[in-house]
Structures are given as structure tokens and as C-alpha cells.
């Protein structure tokens, strides 16, 4: 059907070209707002009427006649209705819709996947400082980043996943101090305990393991503790390695993998920060005032100029960000997406201003940003705010242990990133249609059960006679299958994995409706194989869509 749609679109372009040279390039189909009106719609006549100074309805009638005269429309279209001031509603023949079943079965796991476009994309996400376990906000970011990576992979991009973290600075110093105090026997609430210290039980665990001279290994480092309670620097390094390992375990439980971990400290040791500041100074985009170095960020749309180097000689946090993004550009990533919390909104203008001011050829609007809100967790009808282990927040590991990796991923992806979201733990463990991930996974498992009950050769379904798939429920299901590739393209373009969750829920509903309307394992062999081919194709698309979200497609539930 996808091939047929393209042939029909080419036919529309040719017809438009005869009406107005150049109009064919704008040929497009829309989905009718009311399904009963047809399968495709065209508003081309209404768009052309004004420049051609013609009545849109008469132009629509001329276009309708031109399309019906084409062999491709005669073969695949049953009727074209002219509605309103010039809408064309196109209704396909059943055999046109049936072709999607064959296309899905032939495509398999690759259905909806575009060929390589030769372009590289970096997505930076999570990027949590190694000062504590990952919280549910990091979980939302991990789900978003991984799903956006998967979406772009389906569109032919070569995708690189990167985790950037601060392995130095004030927060790391606080981590070392907190661990040192715990190692000396102090705890939160004691007079010696600073207000800024980290209070979670995990700090005591780190101190205990340090005193026990343990070795910790993370994806990017390993460190053996000296056991010396006065080894403050060693304790800080051990704590960072310990928490990097803990975060690795969080990410493994969430099935998220990164291609590279980028250290903020490397921007200083490599000289990148100093070089970036010099570029900005040489470009005449800075000035000295009150003992500080300022960036003329208002030249690039920021609401005020920003301090780069404070009077004490230290750099503000956006300076290494600029250096880091110049490094991304120099590494060949011409498209970069950063997934961050909405609290980073103010960073966008100053980072982009710094990149423009540096004059290294980076285009305006680089990088792209996807900002997400935090997540509110509800359990037993009450908000859960504190994890004993973390001391001040619910961890990602808590949420996974209370529910499942699949539920956490699907739920955290089911809303637009910038909208508030309440994660209902009780709903996430329910086994009914109110639970959206269960509803979608059950549709897949239900199909697998039907195929298992049949017991035949699934591969033989690719050659089934599909002519029996002419009922309204079957055609509605096939039309929805045909929308999957375009849905993926749109979701990637808009950084919108929530669109995949909406689609999968709609597809599951359509399948459940079809299952209730038509018995699949009937006596008539031809009808049975046609229906089995349709549901097998549906299972394949459910599987593919869930894979984009990083959610499993179980065969039994």
C-alpha cells in the first residue's frame, strides 16, 4: 500500500502540473478527519483556486476528472468524492489496502526503517553528576533520549549516544566531604553535619566500602580505596567511581547504553576551555567589567550579557558547555540533540550565543534541545517524595523495582516532554486495559497466542491470498498499519516519542476491535490464512513500535 500511495501521489502531482506548472511539487495527501469520508484527502484545488482565479469547486471537479482518467487511479481507487468548496476524498479499493499486509511481512523488523542517509547525529542525555543515584527525572530523560535515538536510527541516521558529567567542582567536593564525615562516624542531624551535605544512606555505604579498601569499577574508571580515613582526595575519587558504578547499574536496569562518557574535567585539562575563551576574546565578543569577563550574548538574542569568568578567576558553568559543543562540532556531529530538564532553559540562549560568537562555522540554532519537566510519583493515592536510600528523592531504581522496566519506559514516554507527568505506581502494575503498556503488550501476546493455536508455518502467510480481507474492521486495521512509517518520520522530526505510544495504543485498540468482530481460526483455509496474515502483520508493527520505545513485546502474558 505504501508503494501504491506513492504511485497515487505521483499521479496527483502530474495532474496538478497540467493545471498549473510547478504545482505538482506541492502534491500531498491528508487523512480525512472523518474516516467514513475516505482513505486519502486532497485540498489542492482549494489551494490553487486563488492564484489561478478559478472557482475552487469547479477546479476540484476538473482535478477529479483528471485523476479518474489515470490508469493508476482506475486500478486502485474505487471512487473520488468532491465535497464542500473543493475537497477531494479518495476511497481505495480493498485490494489496495491489502497490500500493506504483504509489505509488513516482507519488511519484518525493518518495516518502517529508512535506508542510511549518511548523516551522523549525537544525542546527549541523562548527563547526571556522579553525586547520587539516578532520580525519576533522570529516568524520564533516559527514556526520552534512548527513544529519540531509536527514532532517528529508523530514519537512516548514524546515532551516537553520549553521557556528559561533571567530575569536578563544588558538588563533587560536597560529595567528598559528606563521605569523609560519614567515615568519621558523623551523620545527618549532628552538629558537625553541613546543611549542603548529601544525606542519603548511600553515603554511608560509600564510606563503609572505602574503609574496607574495596575496588569499584564503572564503565569509564576503576578505583581501589586506601582505607585511610584521612585520605580525603582518595575518598572523593572513590565516591565518584562508586556512584558512576551505581548509575551504570541504574542504566543497565533500564536497558540504556551509551557510546561514550565525556568528562567535564577533560575540557580543562585538554585546554579546550581556555581555547574557547580566547576565541571569544579574539572575536571581540567579550569585555571586562567589575573584574569579570563578560560575553556580549545580547548580540545574539540573549536578554542580557553573561559573565564568563568571575572576579575570582573561575568560569561560569556555560563556558565549558560552549567548549563542549565546539568539540561536538569538530568531531563531525553536524546535528546534536540535548535532552535536559526545563531548569536548563536559560542555558540555551547563552550556549548558542557563545557558539555563534566563537566564529567556528556552527550554524544558528545549534544544538537542538528537548526540555522535560520533572515527574511526580503517586503510590497508594499519595505522592511519594523521599527514598530512604537517596535521602531526598525517588530513584529510578525504586520505580523499576516497584513496577517494571517496560512500564517505566512506556509511562514516561506517554506525554510530551514539556508537560507535567504523574507516574501512578498502582496503575503501572495493573493487568487490565486501564494500564496502557499492558493494553499494548497484551495485543501482541494475544496475536502470538492465536498463531500458536494455529500451529502452521508463519512464513507461508507472506503468500496468502488476501482478498478475504474486505470487511470494515479489517480495512481499518490495514489503514492504521500503513500509517506506521510516516508516524515514525514525523515523531523523529518533532522529537516526539509520545506519538509512538499514542499510535501503539490506537493500533492495539484497532486489533482488539478486529479480534472481537471476526473469528480468525475459521474452517475456510483461504479466509483463515488471510486473517492470520493480517494479525501477524499487526504483531510485527506492534513489536517494531515497542522496540523504538525500548519496551518488550511478550509472546505470553
Q: Looking at the structure, do residues 232 and 319 belong to the same domain, yes or no?
A: no
Question: Stretch 366-383: mean pLDDT, rounded?
Answer: 95
Q: Looking at the structure, do residues 135 and 266 belong to the same domain, yes or no?
A: yes
Q: Looking at the structure, do residues 47 and 148 belong to the same domain, yes or no?
A: no
Q: What is the pLDDT of residue 37?
A: 83
Question: Stretch 419-437: mean pLDDT, rounded?
Answer: 96
Q: What is the pLDDT of residue 389?
A: 61
pLDDT in tens, 277-297: 999 999 999 999 999 999 999
Q: Looking at the structure, do residues 147 and 183 belong to the same domain, yes or no?
A: no
Contact partners, residue 225, CB within 8 Å, separation at least 6: 209, 210, 211, 212, 213, 214, 215, 234, 235, 238
Angle at 445 between CA 444 and CA 447, to 5 degrees: 65
Looking at 221, 253, 285, which one is the last position of a domain?
253
* Residue 353 predicted with pLDDT over 90: yes
Looking at 253, 281, 306, which one is the last position of a domain?
253
Q: Looking at the structure, do residues 152 and 271 belong to the same domain, yes or no?
A: yes
| 112 falls within a domain | no
**For the packed helices 525-549 and 94-107, what is the interaxial angle rounded to 10 degrees?**
60
Strand residue runs (E) in 362-503? 368-372, 375-379, 382-384, 421-424
Residue range of the domain that includes 266: 120-166+260-372
Question: Stretch 334-351: mean pLDDT, rounded?
Answer: 93
**Phi and psi (nearest 5°) for 386?**
-130, 135
Q: What is the pLDDT of residue 255?
A: 96
Band (pLDDT 50/70/90 cuts) for residue 407 is very high
Q: Looking at the structure, do residues 188 and 277 belong to the same domain, yes or no?
A: no
pLDDT in tens, 538-550: 999 999 999 999 9
Q: Looking at the structure, do residues 476 and 447 belong to the same domain, yes or no?
A: yes
| 107 falls within a domain | no
With 0-12 / 13-18 / 19 or more C-beta atoms within 10 angstroms meaning exposed / middle / buried, residue 428 is buried
* Residue 388 predicted with pLDDT over 60: no
Q: What is the CATH number of the domain that holds 305?
A: 3.40.50.620
Angle at 500 between CA 335 and CA 378, to 5 degrees: 105
Amino acid at each position: 500500500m505504501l508503494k501504491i500511495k506513492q504511485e497515487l501521489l505521483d499521479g496527483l502531482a502530474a495532474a496538478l502540473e497540467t493545471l498549473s506548472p510547478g504545482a505538482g511539487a506541492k502534491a500531498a495527501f491528508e487523512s480525512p478527519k472523518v474516516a467514513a469520508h475516505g482513505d486519502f484527502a486532497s485540498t489542492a484545488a482549494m489551494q490553487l483556486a486563488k492564484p489561478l482565479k478559478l472557482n475552487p469547486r469547479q477546479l476540484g471537479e476538473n482535478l477529479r476528472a483528471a485523476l479518474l482518467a489515470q490508469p493508476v487511479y482506475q486500478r486502485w481507487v474505487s471512487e473520488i468524492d468532491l465535497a464542500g468548496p473543493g475537497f477531494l476524498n479518495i476511497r481505495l479499493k480493498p485490494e489496495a489496502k491489502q497490500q500493506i499486509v504483504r509489505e509488513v511481512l516482507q519488511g519484518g523488523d525493518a518495516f518502517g526503517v529508512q535506508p542510511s542517509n549518511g548523516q551522523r547525529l549525537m544525542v546527549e542525555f541523562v548527563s547526571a553528576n556522579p553525586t547520587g543515584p539516578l532520580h525519576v527525572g533522570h529516568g524520564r530523560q533516559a527514556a526520552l533520549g534512548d527513544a529519540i535515538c531509536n527514532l532517528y536510527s529508523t530514519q537512516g541516521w548514524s546515532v551516537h549516544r553520549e553521557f556528559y558529567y561533571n567530575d569536578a567542582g563544588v558538588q563533587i567536593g560536597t560529595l567528598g566531604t559528606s563521605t569523609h564525615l560519614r567515615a568519621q562516624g558523623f551523620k545527618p542531624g549532628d552538629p558537625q553535619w553541613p546543611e549542603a551535605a548529601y544525606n542519603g544512606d548511600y553515603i554511608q555505604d560509600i564510606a563503609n566500602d572505602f574503609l574496607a579498601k574495596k575496588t569499584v569499577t564503572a564503565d569509564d574508571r576503576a578505583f581501589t580505596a586506601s582505607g585511610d580515613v584521612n585520605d580525603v582526595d582518595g575518598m572523593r575519587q572513590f565516591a565518584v567511581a562508586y556512584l558512576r558504578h551505581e548509575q551504570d547499574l541504574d542504566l543497565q536496569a533500564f536497558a540504556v547504553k551509551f557510546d561514550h562518557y565525556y568528562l567535564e574535567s577533560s575540557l580543562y585539562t585538554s585546554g579546550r576551555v581556555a581555547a574557547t575563551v580566547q576565541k571569544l576574546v579574539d572575536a571581540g565578543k567579550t569585555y571586562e567589567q567589575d573584574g569579570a569577563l563578560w560575553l556580549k550574548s545580547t548580540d545574539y538574542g540573549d536578554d542580557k550579557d553573561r559573565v564568563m569568568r568571575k572576579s575570582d578567576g573561575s568560569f561560569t558553568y556555560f563556558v565549558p558547555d560552549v567548549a563542549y559543543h565546539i568539540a561536538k562540532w569538530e568531531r563531525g556531529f553536524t546535528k546534536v540533540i540535548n535532552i535536559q530538564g526545563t531548569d536548563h532553559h536559560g542555558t540555551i540562549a547563552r550556549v548558542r550565543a557563545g557558539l555563534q560568537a566563537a566564529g567556528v562555522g556552527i550554524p544558528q540554532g545549534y544544538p537542538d534541545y528537548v526540555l522535560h519537566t520533572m515527574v511526580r510519583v503517586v503510590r497508594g493515592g499519595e505522592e511519594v517524595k523521599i527514598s530512604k536510600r537517596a535521602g531526598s528523592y525517588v530513584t529510578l531504581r525504586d520505580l523499576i523495582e516497584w513496577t517494571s522496566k517496560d512500564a517505566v519506559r512506556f509511562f514516561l514516554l506517554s506525554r510530551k516532554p514539556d508537560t507535567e507527568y504523574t507516574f501512578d505506581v498502582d496503575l503501572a502494575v495493573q493487568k487490565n486495559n486501564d494500564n496502557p503498556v499492558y493494553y499494548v503488550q497484551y495485543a501482541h501476546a494475544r496475536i502470538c497466542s492465536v498463531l500458536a493455536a494455529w500451529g502452521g508455518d508463519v512464513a507461508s502467510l507472506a503468500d496468502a491470498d488476501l482478498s478475504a480481507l474486505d470487511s470494515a474492521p479489517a480495512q481499518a486495521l490495514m489503514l492504521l498499519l500503513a500509517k506506521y512509517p510516516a508516524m515514525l518520520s514525523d515523531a523523529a522530526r518533532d522529537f516526539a516519542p509520545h506519538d509512538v505510544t499514542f499510535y501503539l495504543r490506537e493500533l492495539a485498540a484497532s486489533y482488539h476491535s478486529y479480534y472481537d468482530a471476526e473469528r480468525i481460526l475459521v474452517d475456510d483455509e483461504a479466509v483463515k490464512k488471510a486473517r492470520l496474515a493480517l494479525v501477524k502483520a499487526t504483531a510485527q508493527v506492534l513489536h517494531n513500535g515497542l522496540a523504538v520505545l525500548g519496551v518488550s513485546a511478550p509472546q505470553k502474558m
